[in-house]
Chain A
Amino acid sequence: MVKSGAQILVECLIEQGVDTIFGYPGGSVLPIYDALYDSKIRHILTRHEQGAAHAADGYARASGRPGVCLATSGPGATNLVTGIANAYMDSVPLVAITGQVVTSQLGKDSFQEADITGITLPVTKHNYLVKDVRELSRVVREAFYLATTGRPGPVLVDIPRDVSAGLTEHEDPGPVNLPGYKPVTEPSPARVSEAVQAILAAERPVIYAGGGVVNSGANAELLRFAELILAPVTATLMGLTGFPGDHPLSLGMLGMHGSKYANYAVCECDLLIAVGVRFDDRVTGRLDCFAREAKIIHIDIDPAEIGKNVRVDIPIVGDVKKTLRALCERLEPRLPGAWQEKIQRWKKEYPLTYEENGRLKPQQVIREIYRATGGRARVATDVGQHQMWTAQYYTFTRPRSFISSGGLGTMGFGLPAAIGVQVACPDEVVFSISGDGSIQMNIQEMATAVNYDLPVKIAVMDNGYLGMVRQWQELFYNRRYSCTELRNPDFVKLAEAYGAVGRRVTKPEEVAPVLQEALAVPKPVMIDFVIEREENVLPMVPPGESLDKMLG
């Protein structure tokens, strides 16, 4: 049967199980939008292509299924770039589809032409420019396969208008055959044995868990492994939902704004079991001081991560879930000893705290959101102080419940990501915790939330500053607050203008009732929390310092 490229694309998307696309139409994608018009795929029209990319990202992080975004050529495609780079840094399965000018106009600086495959080369796992409609179905199949297997990541498919409009006799391309792509998922038994020996010999083991645990769906395996060897678990920002935050073995987050007990434990451990992590500089602090007394086991699906930043004693390339299972099979339960006692002592001695002085504190707001939602909400954040407070004070216990931009640190991620999360989880409570700076970077997506009746609750930690930058200026630039003070719009009126509900909270006692009210309204609600202006995120390891040199 003769079909158009656009029809083939839509059929391939349905074959891949895609139920939702986030996108924005334009000239070069008109054939694709025409094919979507009578398909069963739901299309969410965001108000900016960056919003579409982040929403698809949020959808993927919450559901574990690949997110799909769609944009036109030129500016539509370039507007996706930040979202694609964000997904790349955090290993999120994303398929970005872009329209392109017709093949005869390629390379001629045509209207709305951008070399999007060239532009996204360093921020995609792979990308394609499809120049022949007969290749389209094979490419789409490969794109989803690449995005979701091995170390997940974004894949871009660029489709010229004459390809999506072109007609062909459609043939099934058969199974994916990529001779250069064979991810290793089974750990080497020899390496597993070495790791078992090291674990048996260790007196002070610590597990350092990252996004790989969440991506691999290895929560149950990590829990079993930690309980078996009685090793405390500290997580990266990306790994926070990989291990229950309320478990006695949980140390919360480590690194620059990690808990003191997590950082002390890493500094004093004699065995660091790194699981699905990449030794980011925000985690390690000064590299030559990081876990200096420890042997390091590094488990990761991506061989290139092993030995990239630190020297590793026992590298294990493989899927986290399979590797942890293999380790558990070889290990016997351990009894608690001096190390476990010491960890508990640290936890009592150096809890996360903040000063309560009658004014509205962001940490209190986060705790109250935790209480109001019973710790069961899906929480998306932007980037900055509010993000760190959320990581510190909302105790995450459910996999994929914390949706945050880690590697790229993209302000403007939170609201569109929360929209994607709400689409993926229509029956759950979704919070977008944001700052007054970040929220304004993609504020237009309020219209999307209202348009599609997505009852996202938006909590703005409003201190009238770009708070994290101000904090660095306070600590490292002599309080010279260069260009960090914000004069904001009235967020309550803004919310109302968009057709959402707006509320303002200025006193500690108002927090709980306003949250209750917000949760009771089946509409998007924006709450402007006017918080203490110069509150800092503590503890803090100054950049380039050793993890045990914490301020606060």
Chain B
Amino acid sequence: MRRTLAVLVENNPGVLARVAGLFSRRGFNIDSLAVGRTDNPAVSRMTIVVEGDDRTLEQVTKQLHKLIDVIKITDVTAEEYVDRELVLIKVSAEPGQRSEIAQIAEIFRARIVDLGRRTLTLECTGNEGKIRAFEESLRPYGIKELVRTGKIAMLRGSRYTGGNGKEEE
């Protein structure tokens, strides 16, 4: 089972190493990890997708809480949430294939962001299923390079996990 955790951390040097080290040391598997600062420059937010049963997840959460720099952990999977990921794909595109690829991009509401002599670079945003489908659609043309940001997520509605670590509405 996969869970998505929103983790607010103090924006201190080494905090990423602490979190990553904890996962490897305790044998927890990270599917993806995205990190960046919040509206409060002293606080960063990590979105961690972790694989495991309820008991593993409980341990992950408790062990994360033991890190002094971790302010708050929300299991967004337990509630209604939106999640997004961004992918950049550089795909082989002979001049004759470009319009076909452009059509695929349109279907996925992706954008062509760069053009080479024999390649196109596309940008696509979406949830995991969409990104996967987009990738599969482009695979026949020959994917030269692919990079994804990892998932970020947020609770739906007026509930929020504030950058100051204060309670949600």
Contacts and interface: CB of A to CB of B under 8 A. Distances in A.
The judgment on whether A and B are partners is: yes
Interface of A: 117-118, 121-122, 125-126, 129, 146, 178-181, 302-304, 306-308
B63 A181 contact: no
Interface string B15-31: 00110010001000000
Contacts of A126: 68
Contacts of B63: 304
B9 A180 contact: yes
A121 to B, nearest CB: 5
15 contacts: A117-B14, A121-B17, A122-B21, A125-B68, A126-B68, A146-B68, A179-B10, A179-B71, A180-B70, A180-B165, A304-B59, A304-B63, A304-B66, A306-B62, A307-B55
B21 A303 contact: no
Contacts of A307: 55, 58-59
Interface in B96-119: none
B67 interface: yes
A453 B18 CA distance: 43
Contacts of A303: 62, 65
Contacts of A146: 68
Given A179-B10, A180-B10, A121 B66 contact: no
Nearest to A308: B59
A304 B59 CA distance: 6
Contacts of B67: 180
A513 B69 CA distance: 57
A121 B68 CA distance: 12
Contacts of A302: 66
The 3 closest A-B pairs by CB, nearest first: A304-B62, A180-B71, A126-B68
Scoring B10, B13, B68 by chain A CB atoms within 10 A of each residue's CB, the highest score goes to B68
Contacts of B165: 179-180
B59 A121 contact: no
Contacts of A122: 21, 25
B10 A129 contact: no
A129 B72 CA distance: 23
Contacts of B69: 180
Given A180-B69, A307-B58, 19 more contacts: A121-B14, A121-B18, A121-B21, A125-B68, A146-B68, A179-B10, A180-B10, A180-B68, A180-B70, A180-B71, A181-B68, A303-B62, A304-B59, A304-B63, A304-B65, A306-B62, A307-B55, A307-B59, A308-B59
Contacts of B21: 121-122
Contacts of A118: 14, 17
Scoring A121, A125, A180 by chain B CB atoms within 10 A of each residue's CB, the highest score goes to A180
Contacts of B65: 303-304
A117 B62 CA distance: 22
A551 B69 CA distance: 47
Nearest to B9: A180
A179 B67 CA distance: 11
Nearest to B60: A304
A121 B25 CA distance: 11
A522 to B, nearest CB: 45
A302 B66 CA distance: 8
A183 to B, nearest CB: 10
A308 B61 CA distance: 12
Contacts of B70: 180
A126 B70 CA distance: 12
Nearest to B166: A179
Contacts of A180: 9-10, 67-72, 165
A150 to B, nearest CB: 9
A49 to B, nearest CB: 23
Nearest to B62: A304
A126 B21 CA distance: 13
A126 B66 CA distance: 9
A180 B68 CA distance: 5
A416 B10 CA distance: 37
Contacts of A179: 10, 71, 165
A146 B67 CA distance: 11
A129 B13 CA distance: 9
A287 to B, nearest CB: 14
A17 B55 CA distance: 42
Nearest to A305: B62
A527 to B, nearest CB: 42
Contacts of B9: 180
A121 B18 CA distance: 7
A122 B66 CA distance: 12
Interface string B29-72: 00000000000000000000000000100110011011111111
A61 B67 CA distance: 24
A126 to B, nearest CB: 4
Nearest to B68: A126
A350 B59 CA distance: 39
Scoring B55, B59, B65, B66 by chain A CB atoms within 10 A of each residue's CB, the highest score goes to B66
Nearest to A151: B66
A303 B62 CA distance: 7
Contacts of A125: 68
A91 to B, nearest CB: 12
A155 to B, nearest CB: 9
Nearest to A118: B17
A178 B9 CA distance: 11
Contacts of A308: 59
A420 to B, nearest CB: 26
A484 B67 CA distance: 40
Contacts of A304: 59, 62-63, 65-66
A235 to B, nearest CB: 25
A126 B15 CA distance: 11
Nearest to B21: A121
A307 B65 CA distance: 15
